[in-house]
Amino acid sequence: MYDFLIIGAGITGSLIARDLSHYQCRVAVLEKDNDVANEATSANSAIIHSGHDPHDGSLKLRLNLRGNAMYEGLCKELKVDFERNGAFVVAVNQSESSNLLEIYEKAKERGIPCSLLSREEAIAKEPNLSDDVILALDLPSSGIVSPWEVCIAAMEDAINNGVELYLGNKVLKIDKKDESFVVHTTKGNYESRFVINCAGVYSDEIYAMVSDRPGFFVKARKGEYYVLDKFDEPLVTRTIYPLPSEKGKGVLVVPTIHHNVLLGPNSQIIDDKEANDNTAAALENVRKDAMKTVKNIPMNMVIRTYAGLRSSGSTGDFIIEEAKDVARFVNVAAIESPGLASAPAIAEYVHEEILAKKYVFVLKDEPRIERRPWIIINRMGNEEKQALVKQDPRFAQMVCRCEYISEGEIVDIIHRNCGARTVKAVKRRVRPGAGRCQGGFCEPRVVAILARELNLSPMDILLDGDESKLLIARTKE
């Protein structure tokens, strides 16, 4: 019997698991996919928003502001990168300028560091702003992270400290008992006093397993993006937002923590919760919209496109509460933007405002086991590298020429407690395949390493999902 069962190993589920790992309780996480961080957490804008955008009085606003303040400390504890690179919201005509003034006034009221910049002042800081930009709101507290790195690191830290992770466990049915729930998955049954529903776009369906009258539904809001190669001279150093509209924050130009640039997203509610495909029309709109705020965007530096499905709830706000009709069943649903920015604050809120009212938390006696950071050869000094190579020459066997990744780094992340088992899981952790050749050079090598380390045939190695085998037969002899 667990005390807490978390359904979904995206960034909210993982950070809640990590929070609970501080206390004397049994915690398990069920994830339908074969890796954590595999859905919305891996396909969003990767921004820690300042909090200028959510509606007054919303949970989104409260948790965004709190989350933004928490990120720096969180990333330090998890030993992952965080950069407070700032953001501009830009106006490109007079009516937008007056709207921008309202956003500025609101940001000030909310205690968000901000200032208004004339075109000249803004251009001095971001020379590639489009010629139409006439006014900019500077939001220096905005930041960037790698969302999946935060999620994976949080899960590694949680597992280090007693949390159990069960991948490939799709929830089929939940039985309510007097004092507990029995959650039936594709792999087994798990009994727990509390269930915390962090199932993303499926959180309404999970809730419907215990409720006859779920009070909300969740739709997939698709957002499409371009990824641009690394720049010698940065295109932009800050995140550039257009004026927001009812549909959301609009198409952004985002520098990433790995020095790429993202363009996106558009915003479209769709019925199919799995349809994360790219469409020509949406990509074209993203391109056009991005060019309204930033000029000189070199579309010949595009290396990839992707689409993410955000959980858009019927209430318009995050839905984070104990279900009104089911005790000890906690919904953490409709976590769309600013979900990433809010995630650590969501974990804190779930603990303090919901669980603590029903459960007496006692801190663990033993000291926490700290997370060992990823080994990143490319960032090490010469002596440090040489010492590592002496221990294991695989740290000098280069697998990826775009991002300079060694075999040793890949072997390390395969054998971690939340280790990589697919080509995409390897990419998510140490980035072979994330560069300009998109795996053209490294993929056969990554497949060979995965097969060897996991004691599998290369023919069993998956790109991503369970039906995504890469190789289908041996060649004729």
Beta carbon of residue 305, minimum distance to another protein (angstroms, whole number): 5
Contact yes or no for 14/167 (Cβ under 8 A): no
Beta carbon of residue 37, minimum distance to another protein (angstroms, whole number): 16
Binding of another protein by 466 (CB under 8 A): yes
Beta carbon of residue 155, minimum distance to another protein (angstroms, whole number): 23
Q: From CA 315, how far away is CA 203, in angstroms rounded?
A: 14
Window contacting another protein (CB under 8 A); options: 180-188, 195-203, 235-243, 396-404: 396-404
Contact yes or no for 228/301 (Cβ under 8 A): yes
Nearest to 210 by CA among 61, 347, 323, 84: 323
Residue from 247, 324, 368, 469 binding another protein (CB under 8 A)? 469
Q: Which residues contact 108 (CB under 8 A, 6 or more apart)?
A: 114
Binding of another protein by 245 (CB under 8 A): no
Q: How far apart are the first and last CA of the chain?
A: 54
Q: 241 - beta bridge partners?
A: 89
Binding of another protein by 471 (CB under 8 A): yes
Q: From CA 350, how far away is CA 435, in angstroms rounded?
A: 37
Output 324 or 469, the one with its CB closest to another protein: 469
Window contacting another protein (CB under 8 A); options: 65-73, 251-259, 346-354, 468-476: 468-476
Beta carbons within 10 angstroms of residue 264's beta carbon: 29
Cis peptide before 338 (omega within 30 of 0): yes
Q: From CA 242, how far away is CA 109, in angstroms rounded?
A: 21
Q: Which residues contact 212 (CB under 8 A, 6 or more apart)?
A: 325
Binding of another protein by 173 (CB under 8 A): no
Among the options 22, 49, 55, 184, which is catalytic? 49
Does residue 464 sit in helix, strand or coil? coil
Window contacting another protein (CB under 8 A); options: 72-80, 149-157, 246-254, 304-312: 304-312
Residue from 131, 232, 365, 366 binding another protein (CB under 8 A)? 232
Strands 181-185 and 171-176: antiparallel
Q: From CA 163, how far away is CA 176, in angstroms rounded?
A: 23
Beta carbons within 10 angstroms of residue 118's beta carbon: 11
Does residue 296 sit in helix, strand or coil? coil
Output 50 or 260, the one with its CB closest to another protein: 260
Binding of another protein by 444 (CB under 8 A): yes
Window contacting another protein (CB under 8 A); options: 49-57, 61-69, 368-376, 402-410: 402-410
Binding of another protein by 279 (CB under 8 A): yes
Residue from 262, 402, 418, 425 binding another protein (CB under 8 A)? 402
Binding of another protein by 170 (CB under 8 A): no
Q: 5 - beta bridge partners?
A: 28, 195
Residue from 398, 417, 453, 456 binding another protein (CB under 8 A)? 398
Binding of another protein by 475 (CB under 8 A): yes
Binding of another protein by 474 (CB under 8 A): yes
Residue from 23, 306, 349, 374 binding another protein (CB under 8 A)? 306
Binding of another protein by 227 (CB under 8 A): yes
Contact yes or no for 49/68 (Cβ under 8 A): yes
Residue 52 appears among annotated catalytic residues:
no
Binding of another protein by 441 (CB under 8 A): yes
Positions touching another protein (CB under 8 A) are 226-227, 232, 274, 276-280, 283, 302-306, 382, 385-386, 389-390, 393-394, 396-398, 401-402, 404, 406, 436-441, 443-444, 448, 458-459, 462-476
Residues serving a catalytic function are 49
